Chains A and B, each alone.
Chain A
């Protein structure tokens, strides 16, 4: 199974872009990279996912390196409500989501 490595915590000033990195050096060719976030005492919320190409939606952008060994989630204009734990997950071919320790993002006023 591809493992992911994320920094345990990050701070970001409100209104600035938050760039959250994730390493997944053992990812295989048919595995997708998913990003979820969890606000305290709630279920995880889907943010974005991708395979090879960069992706963008109304919440964030996902930049995947050409070798697919790492990716970066970008929140273009962080707000206080974006304070959460962000999880980078590589989807196994067995379709089970295994969560790592994630990055605790704190958006500072």
Chain B
């Protein structure tokens, strides 16, 4: 099956620094990728929809200047957490749908997730 890879799988950083998380579709092209965050014992919360070659669409309440998303190619989207603070510590998960699949039938493939800890 299709594979989505995230890197890094975990990262620890100091408060005030920026952290970049990469999401790659390894064997298919994805015009759209999705970024989620998940706090302990909670469900996944959609943060934004990343569109190749255009600006990301953010969900209500998600700060676009805080969480910078770039989708420069059909196989790569990046999420940058800027000026990270301890409350940004979370599990960040990306997903992508195969560009070739039907819009309402294609399953969503998820990455392994990236655990961010901000000290």
User: How many contacting A-B pairs (Cβ < 8 A)?
Assistant: 58
Interface size range on B against A: 20 to 34
Q: A41-B113, A44-B110, A46-B107 are in contact. Are A96 and B46 (CB under 8 A)?
A: yes
Would you mind naming 11 contact pairs between A and B with Cβ atoms under 8 Å apart? Answer: A32-B104, A38-B44, A43-B93, A43-B111, A43-B113, A44-B44, A91-B104, A95-B97, A99-B36, A99-B45, A100-B43
Q: A41-B113, A42-B112, A43-B112 are in contact. Are A99 and B107 (CB under 8 A)?
A: no
Which 10 A-B residue pairs are closest in the complex by CB-CB distance?
Answer: A43-B110, A99-B44, A46-B107, A99-B43, A44-B110, A43-B113, A43-B112, A43-B93, A43-B111, A101-B43
Contacts of B44 in A (CB 8 A): 38, 44, 87, 99
Contact of A32 among B4, B95, B105 (CB under 8 A): B105
Q: Are B113 and A42 in contact (CB under 8 A)?
A: yes
Question: Which residues in B have some Cβ–Cβ distance to A below 8 Å?
Answer: 1, 4, 6, 32, 34, 36, 43-46, 49, 91, 93, 95, 97, 103-105, 107-113, 115
Q: Give the nearest-CB partner of B111 in chain A.
A: A43
Q: Are A44 and B93 in contact (CB under 8 A)?
A: yes
